[in-house]
Amino acid sequence: MSALRDALRELPDAVFADLLENDEAYLLVLDMPGVTEETIDIDVTNGRLRIEARREKDVPVEFDYVSEERPLFLDAELPLPPDATGAGAEATVARGVLEIALPKQTSASDESVPVTSR
């Protein structure tokens, strides 16, 4: 059993993530096992995406911890791409996978600029 405990200690602490992009938005996909809609807060401030989450851990009463390596709280703060915006962002979580869609800022549509004399 001590070999298993040692192997668990060697696992990386990082939250696994993918970043996808299309013309309209970025999609951030994070593996956050145990997190639910009720236990997560996400906000965008000053070009940074902040994720605060709490996971539930059900421990059967007939077991005691030998090693507890999965934290209850998962916090991340990530810089956003310069053209990403929190306005209109959406997030979903299902089976421990969090998806955050961050729209890209749209440049102004092509319009004529009126010119007047002074």
Tokens of 82: 């310069």
What domains can be seen in the chain, in order of their start residue? 13-103 (2.60.40.790)
Tens of pLDDT, residue by residue over 72-104, are: 887 777 888 888 888 888 999 888 898 999 898
Phi, psi of 21 (to 5 degrees): -150, 145
**pLDDT tens, residue by residue, 54-76:** 887 778 899 988 887 777 887 77
Q: What is 69-101 written as a DSSP string? A: -S-SEEEEEEEPPTTB-STT-EEEEETTEEEEE
Model pTM greater than 0.75? no
Per-residue pLDDT of 8-44, as tens digits, reads 565 546 567 788 889 999 898 888 888 888 888 998 8
Q: Are 42 and 48 in contact (CB under 8 A)?
A: no
Which of 4, 82, 91 has the alpha carbon at shortest distance from 41?
91
> What tokens were used for 7?
């192997």
pLDDT at 115: 54
